[in-house]
Chain A
Amino acid sequence: MKDGNGGRPLVQLTAKDFKSDQEVRWCPGCGDYAILAAVQGFMPELGIARERIVFISGIGCAARFPYYMQTYGMHSIHGRAPAIATGLSSSRPDLSVWVVTGDGDALSIGGNHLIHVLRRNVNLKILLFNNQIYGLTKGQYSPTSPLGTHNKTTPFGSLDYPFNPVSLALGAEATFVARSVDTDRAHLTEILRRVAEHKGSAFVEIYQNCNVYNDGAFDAVREQENRILLQHGEPIRFGGEDGTVERGVVVRPGGGVEIVDVASVGEDALLRHDESAEDPSLAFALSRLSHTPVGPTPLGIFRAVERPVYDTLMAEQIEVTKRELGEGDLKKLLHAGDTWAIS
C-alpha cells in the first residue's frame, strides 16, 4: 500500500473518519449497508489521507456510495464512471481512485467503458455491486438477471441471457478479478486489501442482496457447501462440513473444469488454484462453474497478474519526451516551420 499517498507517511485514521455527515438512504436491510461498513472499516488500513482518495460512481442504488464516504467523490451519470475515473486517475496518479457501480450501470449502459478500462489497465479499483436487478427504478430485470426472470418488464419471463461479470472481466483481460459477498465482511475485507495493493484495474464483483426487489438472490452462496473459496496455490475444494460431501474442482479432459467428489478422484487430482497464471483460461473456466450463483460458486481472487499500468505509461511518455526534447517552449512552437517577416 505504498502507492496512493504520494510518498507521504501513512496516516492513522479510523472507520469513523470515513463516514460523511450524510444520512444513508438505502432501504433498511439492503446489502449496500454491509459493503459500506466493510469499506469504511477497511479504509484506515490503507494509511492514505482522506483527501487523496476519490470515489466515483454512476447511477443506481450503489451509486449513492460516494455521498457516504468522507473522501472526495463524484456521483456521475449512468454507466460513465469508468470513463470519468480514467481521466482523473491518468491525470492524477497521486490519487487512489475507486469506482462503485452496479450490474445495470457497469454491464448494460456502461458496458463499453468497463471493458475498455480493464483492457487499458487504468489504475482504478472497481467495485461492482451485483444485485441482479434495477433497484433504483423499482424492479426491472438487469443484464445479470437469470434467463426467465419474472418482474415488472418481463411479466412472461426475461428473454436475455445474462452476463457473468467475472467471465466478462476476464474476457476483457482484466489484470485483477475477484468476487465476494456483501455480508461476508472478513472475506470482503481480505479482497479489498488485495484490491488496494494491485497496480492497475482491480475488478471485484460483490453479490449484493436487494431485499426489496430481489430478495434472496444469493442465498445459495451463503451456504457453506456452495462456497468454493479460491486460494492461491491451494487445491480447490469445498464443503465437507456438517456431514456434507467434500467436493473439489478438477480439470476436465478436453478443457474446462468440473466439480467432483474429492473421495472419488483423490486429493492429488484436484486443481491447484494459480491466480497469477498469465493465461486466463483456467480462471475463465472457474468462472463458468456457476453461470448464476444458484449452486456451488467460486469466491475469491480469480486472477491477479501484473501488466503495465496505463496511467504510469502515460506519465512516463511525458517524462521521457520532456527529457529528450526539453520542456515545451510555446514561443518556439508558434514560430516553428516556415515563417516570414513583414516590416
Chain B
Amino acid sequence: MQNYTIFVPRLLSKKEYFVSGHRACIGCGEALAVRLACKAMGQNVIVANATGCIEIIASQIPYTSWKVPWIHTLFENTAAVASGIESGLKAMARKGLKADKGTKAVAIAGDGGTVDIGLQALSGAMERGHNFLYMCFDNEAYMNTGIQRSSATPFGASTTTSPAGKVSIGQFSWKKDMPAIAVAHDIPYVATACPSYPFDLMEKVKKALSVKGPAYIHIFSVCPTGWSCPGDLTIRIGRLAVKTGIFPLYEVENGIYKMSIDFTELRPINDYMKLQGRFRHLTEDVINQIQNKVVEKYEELRRKSVISDAVESGE
C-alpha cells in the first residue's frame, strides 16, 4: 500500500546519478523519472541512451548530468548498443581481461526510439536474451523534435504531425501496446511505472536489475510542453493517468501478470484529459469512444492479472 499512497522524501537515497543543471523544461516528467530510476539503479550500471529529449537536455558538451558511465550513439539502435556492452563485459570477464563487477547494461529511450524506429533492435536484443534492462520513457510523442506523433501517441491527441483540424480529430490510431509486445518475447520481467508513484517505480527498477536476462519497463512520463498542460500538474496528471485506467501500473514476471495497484472504480477519463491542451478539441462523442476503449482494455488486463492487495477507490 505505502508504495502507492504516500511519498516520503526522506525514505529516498540522497545519492544522485542524474544530477541537476540539465535543460529539461519546467515540470518535465521524463527527467524526474530518469532521476528516480537512476537513484534506484545506483552506481553499477552502464547507460546507453537513445537520441531524444533526455539525451539532448543532459549531455551538451562540455556538461553532463550523468554520474554513471554513459554512451549515446544514435536514435534507433540503443538496444543493440546495450547488447554490445553486455557482450563486451561478459567476454572480457570470462577471459580474465577485466574484473567481473556485475555491471549491468541499461538502455534508455523515448517512446519514438522504442515503439517506432528502435523496435527492431529492441526485439532482437530481447529475443537474444541479453542480460540487460531497457527503459522506455513514454511521453507519447517525438518531443525532442517538436511534438510529432509516434505510435505511442494516444487516440485523438493533437500533435504537429497529427494535428486536429476541420476534418481531423488528431491522432487517428490507438496507442501501440508496447509492454504486451515485450511480454510476447517471453522475457523474465516486464513492468509499467510512473514517477507519480516514485517508490513503485524505484522498486520495479531494482527488481528489473536483479533479474537475469532482458527486463523491460515502460515509464509514463508527463510532458507539459508537448501536452499543453501546466508544469506544476505533472505529478497529478501522472496519477490521473493511472487512476482513470489510461495507464495501469502492473508487472509481468515470467509471464504472470500482476496489477501493482487496482481500482474498484476508475475515474472518468475526462478528469485527466481536460487538463491537457492536446485533447481540448475532442467532442463528447470521441471522449466516450475513448472511455469505452480504456475500460475495455483495463478489464482485459484485470482478467489476465493476479490482483494486487493494493486496492484503492479511484477518488
Chains A and B are bound partners: no
**Residue ranges of B at the interface with A (Cβ–Cβ < 8 Å):** none
